[in-house]
Amino acid sequence: MFFAQLPLYEQAILVLAAVVLMLTFFMLAHPRMLSVVHLYATQSLMLTVATALVAYDMQLPHLYVSAALTLLLKTLFVPWLLIRIIDRFEMHFEHDELPHPFLTVLSAGIIVVFCYHTTLPIAAQLLSVTRNLIAICMAVVLLGMLILISRRKAITQVVGFMTLENGLFFAAVSVTRGMPMVVELGVAFDVLVAAIIFGVFFLHIRESIDSLDTSLLSRLTEKDHR
Amino acid sequence: MQALLWTLSLPLFGMIVLALWGHHPKAHRLNIACTVAGLGFAIIMAIETLHRGPKTYLNGLLYVDAFNVYLVVLTAMVGVTTAIFSGPYMLHELARGRVSANRMRLYHSSYQGFLFAMQVALSSNNLGVLWVAMEGATLSTVLLVSLYRTPESIEAAWKYFLLCGVGIAQALFGTVLLYFAASKVVVQQEDALLWSELIKVAAQLDPTTVSLAFGFLLIGYGTKVGLVPLHNWLPDAHSEGPTPMSAVLSGLLLNVALYALVRIKMITDAALQSSQSVDPHIAGFLMMGFGLLSFIVAGIFLHRQTDIKRLFSYSSIEHMGLMTFAFGLGGPLATFGALLHMTVHSLTKSAIFITVGHASQIAKTQRIDGIRGLIATQPAVGWGLLIGTAAITGFPPFGVFVSEFLLLTATMRTWPWLTLPLLLGLGIAFAGLLRAVQPMVYGEKPNGQLPVPANMLPVLTQFTLVMILGLAIPAFLARWFDAAARLITGAGVLP
């Protein structure tokens, strides 16, 4: 099936999915913290657009609520919170370089291939659009984990966590046309509380180790303390 | 109906009032009052449910049957005893200057919030709401883990937050996949995540999607159960937070996560029943594998611990592993044993953590080699710890012995050669625990070690209950477990 033969709506969703995946790659490798936060905001904006698009095309008014929540919470509030913390700790020019950028990005590529491979059996009976979407969403979720693992600074780790959440939302919106309203609201509430707790945590971590470099948090290990 | 709503709204009420009220010397009384009333309503609801069978409430938002109602009662019960214990304990910590008045407020409010999240998770009919409540339980406890604000506790809380957050996110992805599979079968889109609907149509769900969803859900909720290799957060969070927190985390949170996993397994089993492409028993096999691995690894790690709370948190991983294994094994006998084990483990472990809290206040340290001569200093605490250890390692006449015996019997029937690693693991864990506990309770009393104010009544109650369960399970309780086992496996043990 050729891309141009798909209905316009499906084309748009696929393009948005591709952009979300690409932004995740950028977030994985970008050295500047502030830019990573901006990338995250852009990704959330794409998610908002995708949600609104599904709502419009499928005539599902409750998805507009979900789109509004995404816009307020993930595109505006969370980036605002993170940038405020960057301001406050004066970390505008601080870098968070990946230790092995080439290997990390290469493994990210492998993860995407792996996701396509895993979802192949499900997709056999489905439209090619949904097959792509499931694979891409799964890839964004796993790449979010990779960001969490490979980054050192608390802020970029939080961005990784939130990216993971974005992947989940994209899956919920594009593959299943949104979740039941009560679940959507609950999840949004959890994300809000999580973001606030993250904010509190930055202060505590900063107070306790005088830095936001979480690789310094290494007292609790399974070694003998003697 | 009324009783269930009260059970849910009392902790919510407590959370809000305690947050607004601020710290007050009597705040812990309100904390206890809320939990006691909650337990009362939970018992009323349990009696109603046992008489009337499974039922949904509030337009299908809530659902109770014999399986979850017993966990609701257990949660409420451990909530009461831990609240009673935490009153004097936290006041002592306040007097020692480890927490400030403001953090006492945070503590009490979060405690109720945690109980609320757990009760919602247990009684929710919607798998999505179940997820939200599980995440809510993490969120409400994460600031409690870092309550003391030491570098270690902040590290533990950060680890807890990120690992559990990431883990539970996988569970949400699994839930989305399950919804995806169900929305093609269920008529009403909105109902596609309702447990009561899902189990009806489970046999028609697409096996490949459901098995992939189960994989994600196993990783997700498995992180919260503390299955090896996803257990890293557990010993840290248990050891660095205040002790009442360790008691409820170990005694309750792990149970609720396992409960979620069992529910998902029921759907998965039904969906894969006649599948050609996927092994129909894959869910059970995965749970058996992870369970056995956790059981053995945690038993070995017990020998390396230098911190008393880490020691017992590894023992929790070990027992959760055993239960996961048993639920994976399936069959009425194994399920009956696992349900019983869940109960006795919760009761015993939360009582042990209460004693451990007092022990570390007596010795002013959590390091095992710093705690000595407990029986000489404060016999109630010393004997409590010794009896608790005997109970948890599976000595008769305590209930853990009975449930472990049932599990071994069930294993012998279906997978005879697996009894060998099980027995070996029990032996390793037994040696690891007793080796550490023995010098703590006996031995010379260090100079100047004084008793602390302690209320041992909750501990005594819980050990008595565990002993009664070990000697003779009351008939109504046996029927109850049997009804739950029937729901899960389709067949019961009792005639």
ipTM of the complex: 0.88
Do the beta carbons of residue B283 and residue B262 sit within 8 Å? no
Q: Is residue B358 part of a domain?
A: yes
Token pair of A216, please?
């310094």
Whole-angstrom distance between the N-terminal and C-terminal Cα of chain B? 30
Residue A153, phi then psi, degrees to nearest 5: -85, 145
The residue to which tokens 């046999």 are assigned: B203
Separation in Å, CA of A2 to nearest CA in chain B: 25
Q: List pLDDT tens digits, range A133-175.
A: 888 998 999 999 999 888 888 888 889 989 998 998 888 888 8
pLDDT at B49: 87
> Strand, coil or helix: what is A213?
strand
Residue of A nearest to B277 (CA): A121
Q: Is A153 helix (H, G, I), strand (E, B) or coil?
A: strand
Name the pLDDT band for B113 (thresholds 50, 70, 90): very high
Flag if A222 and B149 touch (Cβ within 8 Å). Answer: no
Which pLDDT does position A224 carry in this prediction?
47
Looking at residue B50, its pLDDT comes to: 84
Residue B56's φ and ψ, nearest 5 degrees, are -105, 150
Stretch B199-225: mean pLDDT = 91
Nearest to B451 by CA among B374, B383, B378: B378
Q: Which of A161, A168, A226 sits opposite B173 (nearest CB)?
A: A168
Between B277 and B257, the higher pLDDT residue:
B257
* Average pLDDT score over residue span B247-264: 93
Cross-strand pairs, A32: A95
A217: chain B residues, CB-CB within 8 Å: 151, 154-155, 158-159
Residue of chain B whose alpha carbon sits nearest to that of A189? B132
Q: How confident is the model at residue A123 (pLDDT cuts 50, 70, 90)?
A: low
Instruction: Give me the residue from A175, A182, A204 closest to B149, CB to CB.
Output: A204
Q: Are strands B62-64 and B55-57 parallel, antiparallel or unpaired?
A: antiparallel
Report the C-alpha gap between B14 and B182 in whole angstroms.
37
What domain count does chain B have?
Answer: 1
Band (pLDDT 50/70/90 cuts) for residue A126 is low
The reply to whether B383 falls in a domain is yes
Is residue B438 in some structural domain? yes
Cβ pair B154:A201 closer than 8 A? yes
Containing domain of residue B444, as a range?
294-488
CA max distance for chain B: 73
Q: Is the pLDDT of residue A225 over 70?
A: no
Residue A109: is its pLDDT beyond 90?
Answer: yes
Q: Which of B139, B157, B180 sits opposite A175 (nearest CB)?
A: B180
Instruction: Note the pLDDT tens digit of each residue in B298-350.
Output: 999 999 888 999 999 999 999 999 999 999 998 899 999 999 999 999 999 99
Please check whether residue B220 touches A, CB under 8 A.
no
Global pTM? Answer: 0.92
Is B154's CB within 8 Å of A190's CB?
Answer: no
Nearest Cα of chain A lies from the Cα of B474 at a distance, in angstroms, of: 40
- Give the per-residue pLDDT at A226: 39
Percent of chain B having pLDDT more than 70?
100
Taking CB atoms and an 8 Å limit, are A179 and B193 in contact across chains? yes
Tally the residues of chain B: 495
CB-CB: which of B132, B139, B301 is closest to A187?
A: B132
Provide the pLDDT confidence category of residue B399 given band limits of 50, 70 and 90: very high
The alpha carbon of residue A41 is apart from the nearest alpha carbon of chain B, in Å, by: 20
B residues 79-138 lying closer than 8 A (beta carbon) to A: 126, 128-129, 131-133, 135-136
Q: Do A180 and B192 touch (CB under 8 A)?
A: yes
Q: Do A175 and B176 lie within an 8 Å CB cutoff? A: yes
Per-residue CA distances from B320 to A210, B214, B346, B388, B435 (Å)? 37, 19, 10, 17, 22
Q: Tell if the CB–CB gap between A220 and B162 is shorter than 8 Å.
A: no
pLDDT digits (tens, 9 = 90+) for A167-214: 988 888 888 877 787 788 888 888 888 888 888 888 888 877 777 777
Burial, A196: exposed, middle or buried (Cβ in 10 Å; 0-12, 13-18, 19+)?
middle
Q: Which residue of B has its CA nearest to A173?
A: B176
Residues of B in contact with A201 (CB under 8 A): 146, 154, 157-158, 161
B64 forms beta bridges with: B55
CB contact under 8 A, A204 and B146: yes
Taking the C-alpha atoms of residue B264 and residue B258, their distance in angstroms, rounded to an integer, is: 10
Give the pLDDT band of residue B24 (cuts 50, 70, 90). Answer: confident
On chain B, the residues whose CB falls within 8 A of the CB of A125 are 206
Tell me which residue of B44, B59, B33, B32 sits closest to B7, measured CA to CA. B44
| pLDDT of A222 above 80 | no
Closest-CA residue to A97 (of A191, A28, A43, A162): A28
